[in-house]
Chain A
């Protein structure tokens, strides 16, 4: 068995006594292990230090990158905000046009309403719903916004196309509305119930009687096609013009007819001369407007005085 202890003798010079230390073997072992531990720790620490140092330099690069990304994100957000506000304007314009045309779009109104109100928060007003972007928004939320925006843009495109078609249609409808007087003269008998000039019975008068000298010009009050020009019973010489949209006008008691069936006429075209043919008591124009076959008061359509 090995000795359990070592003796360490310190022999100083000259007069000092020799110092003798007895060291247990186990103590030496402990010291050795302690030293090894310290060295190990030191090595670990230095490795870690170098790693941290490397990270630190990378961190600087990352910080710069982060800054760039942040500013990019900001500009994207600004751009979305810009698109949003543009869409808001288009939206308001669209609503105005719709109000003008009285076009209803129930599906759209539904979509514009507070469809998904968040708990405790007011639903965004229609004029700010696309500009409500805060800096706390995450890119994920931003993506949601973008999807919403593109959906809205598509819907508005459709809506505007519809409006355009409507206005194109409206243009020809406006051209088809008999909005001017067909002849200048005095209205001697209005639309509605009246006493028949021949029999004095109470009868419906389905047009306007415009008294004017024999031969006075009769103008077409809107665009259309002549569908009849000839004699017809009590109307005498009569012209019937089909304006489309179910609107037809009739001009009775004419002296002369200057158009024939099949002719296209424009607003203001000279079509006939006032006369006294048919069941008439004096030269006048009987002017009638029928919508889907129903006689209507011609005054309803006349826009000029």
Chain B
């Protein structure tokens, strides 16, 4: 099996501005994304996807093996995109609009897409011993009219920035987060834990994975931020909020955040996607 070099960014890179797909759509979406190798690593195993046509956004942070991590994250973003496009063409199109958040089929479609990605990565790893043990985190976002849905595995994060509020939507599937929940360590200690890179779930490491899905009703002006732990571990939530709030335009936000994280040391690959909902 021939694979592209892992540090080539396997992503649709850039800034775009697309109005929603249907006439019924009241809200449009603007997005920007960027990835960076950071200061300490010599190659980038993160992948990201900006699909403004589907209004699908994915960040994946690969890990394992020398070529495995980049491959796993690339397979993840490609599979999720492919699966959702296929679902849209199918007879049970999940992208049809529904009035209620909880009636939307998108969370299940997203979950299925991530599960398919998991199987695809696992299969690829089985076929090539050099890739065995690879896996990836996935944080994905689909914006559908005023609804926003997330599917999440691992320690990449989704944030909602609304006015003065910045809130982490996804709950990290990491050892330190489990320790915090069990009361073994405090959030403060977690920041300096040696084990903060250990994740408790990953896409593709096993044949199946449990996917968390979330959904919320968005408002004009909301900014969704997806990022790998290379950003989240370097900056405080407050600092992220400040950068987003002070940036002159959405396009400049990923670069500013990556520069900030690199100034702090850039311990890991850094990937940032920002998506703003506009009236």
Contact = CB atoms under 8 A, between A and B. Distances in A.
Contacts, number: 56
Contacts of B12: none
A277 interface: yes
Interface stretch (A27-35, A53-61, A116-124, A231-239): A231-239
A231 B165 contact: no
B14 interface: no
B196 interface: no
B120 interface: no
B164 A231 contact: no
Contacts of A277: 102
Contacts of B187: 292-293
Interface residues of B, number: 25
B235 interface: no
A215 interface: no
B162 A262 contact: yes
B167 A294 contact: no
B169 A228 contact: yes
B165 A261 contact: yes
Interface of B: 101-102, 107, 149, 160, 162-165, 167, 169, 177, 180-183, 186-187, 212-217, 219
B140 to A, nearest CB: 14
A231 B216 contact: yes
Nearest to A278: B102
B162 A230 contact: no
A244 interface: no
Contact of B214 (A233, A260, A293): A233
Nearest to B170: A232
Given A261-B165, A262-B165, A230 B180 contact: no
A231 B169 CA distance: 10
20 contacts: A227-B167, A228-B160, A228-B216, A230-B101, A230-B217, A231-B149, A231-B213, A231-B216, A232-B215, A233-B214, A237-B102, A261-B162, A261-B167, A261-B216, A262-B162, A262-B164, A292-B187, A293-B177, A293-B180, A294-B181
A218 interface: no
Contacts of B214: 230-233
A21 B164 CA distance: 136
A213 interface: no
A223 B215 CA distance: 25
Contact of B102 (A231, A262, A294): A231
B266 to A, nearest CB: 27
A304 to B, nearest CB: 27
Contacts of A262: 162-165
Interface in A215-248: 225, 227-233, 236-237
A195 B112 CA distance: 28
B165 A227 contact: yes
A294 B213 contact: no
Contacts of B182: 294
Nearest to A275: B102
B213 A233 contact: yes
Contacts of A261: 160, 162, 165, 167, 216
Contacts of A292: 180, 186-187
A224 to B, nearest CB: 12
Contacts of B101: 230-231, 237
A229 B219 CA distance: 12
Given A292-B186, A293-B187, A229 B216 contact: yes
B215 to A, nearest CB: 4
Interface in A249-297: 260-262, 277, 292-295
A261 B277 CA distance: 15
A229 B218 CA distance: 10
Given A231-B149, A233-B212, A261-B165, 10 more contacts: A230-B214, A231-B213, A231-B214, A231-B216, A260-B217, A261-B162, A261-B216, A292-B187, A294-B180, A294-B181
A129 to B, nearest CB: 43
A229 B215 CA distance: 9
Contacts of B215: 230-232
Contacts of B162: 261-262
A289 to B, nearest CB: 13
Contacts of B163: 262
Nearest to A290: B181
B275 to A, nearest CB: 16
A280 B182 CA distance: 24
A294 B183 contact: yes
Contacts of B213: 231-233
B223 to A, nearest CB: 12
A205 to B, nearest CB: 14
A119 B89 CA distance: 98
A260 B163 CA distance: 12
A191 to B, nearest CB: 14
Contacts of A233: 212-214
A233 B177 CA distance: 18
**Which of A229, A230, A233, A277 has the most B CB atoms < 10 Å from its CB?**
A230
A261 B161 CA distance: 10
